[in-house]
Structure 1
Amino acid sequence: MATIGLIVNPAAGRDIRRLTGGASVVDNYAKRRVAECVCDGLTVAGEPLEVLVMPDRTGIADHAVAEAPAEIDATTLEMPIEESPADTRRAAATFREAADVVVVLGGDGTTRDAALELGDVPLVAVSTGTNNVVPSAVDGTVAGAAAALVATGTVAADAVATRHGTVEARAETPAGERRLTGLAAAEVSSQSFIGTRALLDPADLRGGVVSQAHPGDIGLPAVAGSLEPLSPADPGGVAIRLADPTDAPRAVRAIVAPGVTATVGVASCERLEPNESATFDVPDGVVGADGERELELTDATVELTPVPDGPRLVDVDATLEAGARAGAFEVAPIDEPRTE
């Protein structure tokens, strides 16, 4: 029996950017409904499946298990709950050995936490967070159907999953080396403290390196994508250095946060080959990942490097198309009873 892991981050999509910008609230009721839809979508496989759900204290996992269709063997994963990103990482580490496919409901941060532990297990990332550069805005039922097709081998994972790059940040400080991994981006900010974590003011951003870039993204990937678009399937990354728009040689209008657009000055923007680093001096600031400040640094030198061996992300549309070509959705005609 194929096994699907389901990770739902209760904290995703509920940070301060709901107050300072136009980001929509994704409450726990909505996440319960999406998780329920994922389980319904799994029935498309037409065979029994096992679903292991990451536990939480908000009732999301319990609801998904209770409402799962009869043909789905749904249980809650047994693990301690800290109500922190450690929950996602712990569940993903278990799924690395126990699951054929993992569905993650969250934003870039949740997807990153899961991806760092999943190894080669295919990942279906569903957008329910704030920064959603990597996760897809896809219906939960559709995501579940795609996960089922890959988990059962009806559609080969190698045919529909692509390896997404990451960005490794390595900081040399007077106190020693510190490291951080970003999925879509690693950013350098002039803010000297983490605070609420969210990168809110574009004037604070000094630049960074992104693993994908498109004007329709959010944050630094949108700024880089306005000048140097980079597909998630393309190798390498884009290094971008920002400046005051009144002094910079170039400027772009970009979506820097949900509900926030700004004119951003660009000192330089260049493609990087895989494993080619860009160096930033940080006299006093913060290095962030995927729109969230993480490392407070003083008198540091930071190397940001695009690395090619990130998560295997499942293309939901390609999976469903491949399933249709394989006849995965065809069933025997239903005989209607005769009427006299």
Structure 2
Amino acid sequence: MPQLGEGVIDWGKDGIALTAEQKRFYGHNGYVIVRKCVPESEIDRYIERFNYLCTADRSEFPFMSVMRDITLAKTSDGKDVSKITKIQNWQDDPVLFDYCRYPTVVDVVKDLIGTPSSTLCAMHTMLINKPPDTGSLTSRHPLHQDLQYFPFRPADFICCAWTAMQRINRANGCLVVVPGSHKGPLHPHAYPNWEVKNQAYHGIQDYDPSMPRTYVEMEAGDTVFFHPLLIHGSGANRTDGFRRAISCHYANDDLCRYYEEKTKSQEETDKDVMRMLELKTKKLGIDINDIDVDYSFVWRIRSRAVNGEKCNL
């Protein structure tokens, strides 16, 4: 099997931020943890901004998505921070986008999917506010692969940075990963066979439960970087407090291109996301059925250059 990033990444050489050993660990396992990657002073800024964005006039941020757990969706007016489980697509926010540009995070990503001179694009941004579970286990996120949602390739030049904003452990629903699963295929995805499930939370359908899992327990500022084919998910939050993390999916703009070929389950995922976009744009007075919009358009408006100038994504 070809090595990840073959011809671009030198896995035997120290990078800007990572040692050769850390890079090889990522190549073998599909993820690597960098402790204290982001200082708590920055995390405090992001939390303060999150609290503001949850309660701000949404017309200021027309493309930002605010999500609530399905069991909490009808219990408030939508601006109660305690009911909001996630904000996405905040790439135009000047405070939170500082996370995507944070030098240590960017340097690690370049070590894994590029070179010191590579242009990186932030493709998908999230701040997750996993709530205490209501008893329905809807705070779980099924095991999945992020590449299921992405219409750009090659996969080896895409990487997620996911930073703990507090202590995260099995009790409050830490990430769980299947080491080495990034070397396998993109599996079929669909909604899990759960009694209650959140919109767009798709999971792998042919997952082998005998595969060993690793629970990624972290302290505030610790950051896990992982490949888009890595099988991962998170458990229910069984504590009384929220579990917060901030993340960005990066792509190497020099090498990645939009990709039209899809699996059948990806087509279903695309439809799900497009339905969500249609509802969002209607609130803005835009009917996407009147314009030529495809799935890659969703990602083109989300993507933003982290350094250099965006050319391809």
TM-score, scaled to structure 2: 0.24
Q: Which has the larger radius of gyration?
A: 1
| Structure ranking higher in strand proportion | 1
By relative contact order (CA 8 Å, sep 6+), the higher-ranking structure is 2
TM-score, scaled to structure 1: 0.22
